């Protein structure tokens, strides 16, 4: 799960970076960049953080 | 009746006109039109003219110069050939050297101020941690200076600045001209520099390059020290050394190249028409968000301190041991920030650099607004003006203004700072209670969240009034945000934010995961409960005091 979260974080960056080639206008790029940021944050706060929370010291 | 009305109307009009004249300032008496001065004919200055200029006589100099009227004259111009005497090339060269010298002194002295911020960070972090970890926390902040500098000198500076090209303010920095690029989307995208390893490689043993190295190095170190705050009280010292070296050698310089070293983020404007490309005047993104997001990666990886959360997941406060040094540290940081932001012009002469005054004032105002925002939020919400959050609010405002400081006006600075002060409080609560990531000093919120806010605020508030040599990131004109007519700038800033969140966080996490596999990041539970001073450092920070060893909130 941790690697899924990490992969999501990186894919979010790729989506934002890819907006440079996939869209030509500022509006299209804006939407893709925002999607990328959301995907990255979701990966970090979701699967990645949750995977480490499962083995947190206060749960032992 | 009509006559009465007409008389009344005329009287009212005359009175009104008289009143208007009385309210309006009396017009100045008419002056004869001044003749426009005739354009002065150019006068050729020759070497003969220069030689005729007489400096103060030796007997006058021998009497002393209390008024400073005969110190600094034609006698002080450096003459290339004493036999030939003063010539026009000597004079012109002196003007050029003086301009560069002013910029050298400015950049170096502001760099010294930023270096002193290390002391501020050390005090803030140590004060917010428990006394049993004082030695360890202080040593991390002390040695991050050396460890980071080593990595940066060996690899990082070349990666970051090796292809930045000519920096006019510093006399050209011509040797920094090798940027590795790839062709994508039909454009050349810069990835990393290739000149300047150990400051000896390919002509980089150069006075201008030295200035650049010192200034950029102290910025790099600020990013590295942020991470020590989040991982404090449970970070193995050897893991800290390894992590900081990798961050100074690779993570930080890579993103810094993309933003400042001629890399692809800076050229988003020139290549893709997105405003002036990713614009980060002094490093809300490059320094603070890189540090804050690396801190987030470390916070997730290393886990919370023992006693921070109960079995029900409720967060317990673990107070620091000395709020006085926390606030003293905040003031030292605020002082150092006068080097951080205004120094980022890399000069005080030429190319719009007199805007250093505006940058300095913007910095002050945002810090002030941040401290007010945080203090008022805590006061209203919890009934008391919390000291540590007020300090964090000051820092949040300073972090947030770092990127836009060179591009916005004073009103925008206050708005940015005020939002930062409230944002840091909300972020601390979110990270602490929702994400359950333990951050003893709030570094993720101060530097990560507000670093990203600073990056975005450039895309909103940049007013197009700055002028740093007529262009920024090779795009003519001034950086202008959405509120002043350029939505493309906001998109460029968001691409930078996405790169920070998606790429920098991931790279930092991977590096620290590898360190965890090979060395282990976290100390043992016994060492953590005892305090890291003895197990990790071999000496107490406060040997004359009896310290509590049990953890707060352990069930």
DSSP B267-328: THHHHH--TTSS--SS-IIIIIIHHHHHHHHHHHHH-PPTTSB-TT--B-----S-HHHHHH
Contact criterion met (CB below 8 Å) for B278 and B497: no
Chain A CB contacts of B497 under 8 Å are: 37
B230 vs B42, residue with greater confidence = B230
B396, burial (CB in 10 Å: exposed 0-12, middle 13-18, buried 19+) = buried
- Rounded to whole angstroms, the Cα distance separating B536 from B543 reads 15
How high is the pLDDT of residue B408?
98
Given a cut of 50, whether residue B25 has pLDDT beyond it is: no
Neighbours of B382 (CB within 10 A): 11
Confidence bin at B72 (pLDDT 50/70/90): confident
pLDDT digits (tens, 9 = 90+) for B163-188: 998 898 999 888 999 999 999 999 99
Structure tokens at B38: 């005739």
pLDDT tens-digit profile of B316-330?
999 999 999 999 999
Measured distance CA(B292)–CA(B443) in Å, rounded: 6
- pLDDT tens track for B257-274: 999 999 999 999 999 999
Q: Which residues of A touch B502 (CB under 8 A)?
A: 9-14, 16, 36-37, 39-40
Distance separating alpha carbons of residues B405 and B419, to the nearest angstrom: 15
Supply angle C-alpha B526, B531, B535, rounded to 5: 70
Q: With contact defined as beta carbons under 8 Å apart, do B380 and B425 qualify? A: no
pLDDT digits (tens, 9 = 90+) for B93-150: 999 999 999 999 999 999 999 999 999 999 999 999 999 999 999 999 999 999 999 9
- Residues B341 and B363: beta-carbon distance below 8 Å: yes
Q: What pLDDT does B173 receive?
A: 86
A37: nearest CB among B296, B497, B509? B497
Q: How far is A46 from chain B (nearest CA, A)?
A: 9
Whether residue B14 is predicted with pLDDT greater than 50 in this model: the reply is no
Asked if the C-beta of B435 comes within 8 angstroms of chain A's C-beta atoms, the answer is yes
Chain A positions touching B303 (Cβ under 8 A) are: 52, 55-57
Residue B480 Cα, gap to closest chain A Cα (Å): 15
Q: Which of B137, B206, B134 is nearest to B172 (CA)?
A: B206
Which of B 284-303 lie inside 8 A of A, CB atoms? 296, 300-301, 303
pLDDT at B42: 75
Burial-class residue A6 by CB neighbours within 10 Å (0-12, 13-18, 19+): buried
Burial label for B420, CB within 10 Å (0-12, 13-18, 19+), is: buried
Q: Residue B503 is nearest to which of A13, A21, A53, comparing CB atoms?
A: A13
Confidence of residue A18 (pLDDT cuts 50, 70, 90): very high
pLDDT score at A44? 98
Name which of B185, B487, B501 is nearest A40 (Cβ-Cβ).
Answer: B501
Cβ(B462)–Cβ(B416) below 8 Å: no
3-class DSSP state of B471: strand
Taking the complete model, does pTM exceed 0.80, yes or no?
Answer: yes
Give the closest-approach CA distance of B479 to chain A in angstroms. Answer: 16
B262's torsion region: left (phi>0), alpha (psi -120 to 50) or beta?
Answer: left
Q: Name beta bridge partners: B235.
A: B522
Residues B548 and B330: their CA atoms lie apart, in Å, by 27
Chain B residue with the nearest C-alpha to that of A26 = B488
- What would the mean pLDDT of B73-84 be, rounded to a whole number? 86
B49 SS3 class: helix
What's the length of chain B? 555
Helix, strand, coil % in chain B, rounded to nearest 5: 65, 5, 35
Tokens coding B207: 């006075």
Torsion sign over Cα B193, B194, B200, B203: negative
Residue B360's alpha-carbon distances to B339, B366, B419, B454, B474, in angstroms, are 9, 10, 19, 16, 25
Residue B304 sits at the chain A interface (C-beta within 8 Å):
yes
- pLDDT grade, residue B35 (50/70/90)? low
Check A36 against B498: CB less than 8 A apart. yes
User: What residues contact B59, with CB distance under 8 A and at least 6 apart?
Assistant: none
Task: Answer whether B451's CB lies under 8 Å from B397's CB.
Answer: no
Q: Touching check for B184 and chain A: CB below 8 Å?
A: yes
Q: Return all residues near B33 (Cβ < 8 A) that are at least 6 apart.
A: none
Minimum-distance CB partner of B303 among A15, A39, A56: A56
Alpha-carbon Rg for chain B, nearest whole angstrom, is 29
As a whole number, the mean pLDDT across chain B is: 90
Q: Do A29 and B491 touch (CB under 8 A)?
A: yes
> Is the CB of B482 inside 8 Å of chain A's CB atoms?
no
Please tell me the predicted confidence (pLDDT) of residue B112: 98
Among B9-18, B54-63, B412-421, the range scoring the smallest mean pLDDT is B9-18
Alpha helices, H only, B231-274:
237-246, 252-260, 268-272
- Closest CA in chain B for residue A49: B300
Give backbone dihedrals phi and psi of B189, rounded to 5 degrees, phi first. Answer: -110, 120
pLDDT at B47: 77
| B498/A37 Cβ within 8 A | yes
Kindly report the nearest CA distance between residue B501 and chain A, in angstroms.
7
Q: How many CA atoms lie within 13 A of B381 on its CB side?
A: 12
- pLDDT confidence of residue B12: 41
């Amino acid at each position: 799960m941790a690697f899924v979260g990490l992969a999501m974080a990186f894919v979010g960056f790729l989506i934002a970076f890819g907006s440079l080639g996939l869209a030509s206008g500022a509006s299209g790029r804006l939407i893709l960049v925002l999607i990328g940021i959301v995907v990255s944050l979701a990966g970090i706060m979701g699967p990645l953080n949750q995977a480490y929370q499962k083995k947190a010291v206060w749960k032992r | 009746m009509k006559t009465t009305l007409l008389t009344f109307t005329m009287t009212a009009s005359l009175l009104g006109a008289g009143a208007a004249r009385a309210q309006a300032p009396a017009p100045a008496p008419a002056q004869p039109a001044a003749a426009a001065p005739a354009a002065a004919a150019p006068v050729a200055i020759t070497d003969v003219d220069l030689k005729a200029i007489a400096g103060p006589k030796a007997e006058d100099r021998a009497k002393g110069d209390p008024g400073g009227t005969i110190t600094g004259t034609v006698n002080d111009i450096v003459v290339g050939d004493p036999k030939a005497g003063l010539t026009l090339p000597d004079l012109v060269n002196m003007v050029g050297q003086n301009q560069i010298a002013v910029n050298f002194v400015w950049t170096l002295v502001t760099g010294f101020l930023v270096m002193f911020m290390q002391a501020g960070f050390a005090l803030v972090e140590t004060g917010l941690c428990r006394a049993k970890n004082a030695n360890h926390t202080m040593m991390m902040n002390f040695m991050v200076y050396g460890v980071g500098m080593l990595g940066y000198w060996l690899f990082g500076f070349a990666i970051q600045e090796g292809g930045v090209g000519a920096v006019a303010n510093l006399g050209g920095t011509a040797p920094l001209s090798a940027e590795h690029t790839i062709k994508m989307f039909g454009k050349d995208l810069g990835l990393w520099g290739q000149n300047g390893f150990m400051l000896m490689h390919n002509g980089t043993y150069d006075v201008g390059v030295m200035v650049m190295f010192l200034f950029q190095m102290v910025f790099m170190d600020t990013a590295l020290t942020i991470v020590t705050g989040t991982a404090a009280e449970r970070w193995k010292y050897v893991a800290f050394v390894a992590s900081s070296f990798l961050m100074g050698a690779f993570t930080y310089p890579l993103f810094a190249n993309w933003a400042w070293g001629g890399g692809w983020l800076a050229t988003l404007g020139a290549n893709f028409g997105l405003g002036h490309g990713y614009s980060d005047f002094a490093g809300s993104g490059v320094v603070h968000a890189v540090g804050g997001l690396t801190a987030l990666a470390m916070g997730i990886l290393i886990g919370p301190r023992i006693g921070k959360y109960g079995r029900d997941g409720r967060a317990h406060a673990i107070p620091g041991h000395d709020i006085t040094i926390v606030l003293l540290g905040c003031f030292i940081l605020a002082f150092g920030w006068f080097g951080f932001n205004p120094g980022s012009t890399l000069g005080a002469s030429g190319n719009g650099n007199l805007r250093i005054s505006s940058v300095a004032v913007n910095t002050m105002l945002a810090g002030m607004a941040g401290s007010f925002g945080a203090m008022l939020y805590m006061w209203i919400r919890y009934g008391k003006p919390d000291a540590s959050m007020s300090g964090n609010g000051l820092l949040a405002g300073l972090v947030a203004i770092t990127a836009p400081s060179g591009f916005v006006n004073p009103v925008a600075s206050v708005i940015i700072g005020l939002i930062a002060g409230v944002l840091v409080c909300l972020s601390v609560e979110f990270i602490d209670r929702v994400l359950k990531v333990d951050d003893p000093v709030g570094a993720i919120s101060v530097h990560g969240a507000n670093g990203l806010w600073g990056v975005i605020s450039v895309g909103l508030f940049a007013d197009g009034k700055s002028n740093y040599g007529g262009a920024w990131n090779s795009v003519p004109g001034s950086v202008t945000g959405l509120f002043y007519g350029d939505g493309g700038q906001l998109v460029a800033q968001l691409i930078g934010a996405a790169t920070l969140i998606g790429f920098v966080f991931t790279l930092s996490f991977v590096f620290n995961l590898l360190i965890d596999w090979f060395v282990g990041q976290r100390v043992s539970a016994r060492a953590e409960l005892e305090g890291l001073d003895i197990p990790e450092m071999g000496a107490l920070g406060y040997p004359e005091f009896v310290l509590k060893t049990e953890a707060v909130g352990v069930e």
